[in-house]
Amino acid sequence: MKLLEDRIQKDGLILNDDILKVDSFLNHQVDPALMMEIGKEFARIFADTNADRILTVESSGIAPAVMAGYVMDLPVVFARKHKSLTLPDNVYTADVFSFTKQVKNKIIIDKRFLHPDENILIIDDFLANGQAVYGLLDITKAAGANIQGVGIVIEKTFQRGRKLLDENNIRVEALARISEFKDGKVVFTED
């Protein structure tokens, strides 16, 4: 998605060989017009699916997922990161390890909002090590629902998330695929 790649090139901050900060338009400050274009692009890419529901994780997944849900006319459920020791009743839960923060979070989704045999589309802002997406896949499987695909705004192809998903035959579509950071620039992979 050229609009997104151009924006990453212009406003992304490369902190080191692994970390790209896009907090000026995606995950702290949000550009709503760009989010709408991202939503339209997910709708176009996944037009051949028949999803019943979109899942994402708070907080950075919410804006792109809600825009995709708007264009596709689907409800969006954002998994909550659960902090307290006691779990509420009637939730699906999965562990998600954050490499950036070096902490393990539990994410939870209320069982009222995910049902057996539903078709699920997962949307998230980043795919790096794939932990958040994996948590959502675990929850989807536990609910007996079907994964139709995973839509990612920005993928770092040099980390292991994509490999894990490919090995499990999950369809992954990323709007911008980064292969490396070189000379202070982002290098994108051509599909």
Q: Which residues bind a second copy (CB under 8 A)?
A: 23-24, 28-33, 35-36, 58-59, 62-63, 66-67, 69-70, 73-78, 80, 84, 101, 109-110, 112-113
Given a contact cutoff of 8 angstroms between Cβ atoms, the answer to whether 145 and 137 are in contact is no
Pick 108 or 165: Cβ nearer a second copy: 108
- Minimum CB–partner distance for residue 73 and a second copy (Å): 7
3-state secondary structure of 152: strand
Whether residue 20 is annotated as binding a ligand: the answer is yes
CB of 35 to a second copy, least distance (A): 6
128 in a labelled binding site: yes
13 or 187: whose CB is closer to a second copy?
Answer: 13
CA distance 110 to 25: 30
Query: Of 61 and 149, which has the nearer Cβ to a second copy?
Result: 61
Name residues whose C-beta falls within 8 Å of residue 187's C-beta, 6 or more positions apart in sequence: 178, 179, 180, 181
The answer to whether 40 is a known ligand-binding residue is no
Nearest distance from residue 58's CB to a second copy, in Å?
4
For residue 136, give the DSSP letter. Answer: H
Tell the smallest beta-carbon distance from residue 166 to a second copy (Å).
Answer: 30
User: Which of residues 97 and 113 has its CB atom nearest to a second copy in the complex?
Assistant: 113
Minimum CB–partner distance for residue 70 and a second copy (Å): 4
Strands 53-57 and 76-82: parallel
Count of Cβ atoms closer than 10 Å to residue 6 Cβ: 11
DSSP SS3 for 167: helix
Residue 29 assigned ligand-binding role? no
**Shorter beta-carbon distance to a second copy: residue 58 or 180:** 58
SS (H, E, C) 34-97: HHHHHHHHHHHHCCCCCCCEEEEECCCCHHHHHHHHHHHCCCEEEEEEECCCCCCCCEEEEEEE
- Strand 103-110 and strand 76-82: pairing? antiparallel
Q: List binding-site positions for 5-phospho-alpha-D-ribose 1-diphosphate.
A: 128-132
Q: List binding-site positions for xanthine.
A: 20, 27, 156
Q: List binding-site positions.
A: 20, 27, 128-132, 156
